[in-house]
Amino acid sequence: MKPNLSAYRAYVELCGLSRSMEALLLMQEMVEAGLPIDIEICRALMNGQCKEKNIFEAESLLSFYAKEFQIFDAECYNALVRILSEEGDTSKLIEFQDRMAKLGYAPNIVTCKYVIDGMWKAMGAQRRRELLVE
């Protein structure tokens, strides 16, 4: 007996909690079996990758979802924007947004909040004080 979509979804969500590589293998197995990928699976995988700060893998997943399944989920996109903004490398964050815009992802108010937070943190304490005084 082969697992159905609900079983795979449960497996992926469990693996996404702490074993993101196993969850990715399950997703690959689903695709090979011809089962559709849905938004819950996408979110579970993205949350696992972001939790482990696997930025390259998370971005690859976003691209894969967009290209192969036409899934453009703001929650998944914003999870990765948040991780990138926490790193404090604003040029990397802006480059990421440019790549995602080419795929069809659009920033929303949450995205903008994370970008502003990241830029604010990247400024450094001295520059922030100067701006607040002005």
In this predicted model, what pLDDT tens digit does every residue of 88-107 receive, in sequence order? 888 899 999 999 999 999 99
Domain spans of the chain, in order of start: 5-133
Q: How many residues does the chain have?
A: 134
Long-range contact pairs involving 67-75 (C-beta distance under 8 Å, separation at least 24): 67/103, 68/37, 69/36, 69/37, 71/37, 71/39, 71/42, 72/103, 72/104, 72/105, 72/106, 73/39, 73/42, 73/43, 73/46, 74/108, 74/110, 74/111, 75/43, 75/46
Class of the domain covering 5-133: mainly alpha
How confident is the model over 38-93, as pLDDT tens digits? 888 888 888 888 888 889 999 999 999 999 889 999 999 999 999 999 988 888 99
> Structure pTM?
0.79
- Contact between 76 and 46 under an 8 Å Cβ cutoff? The reply is yes
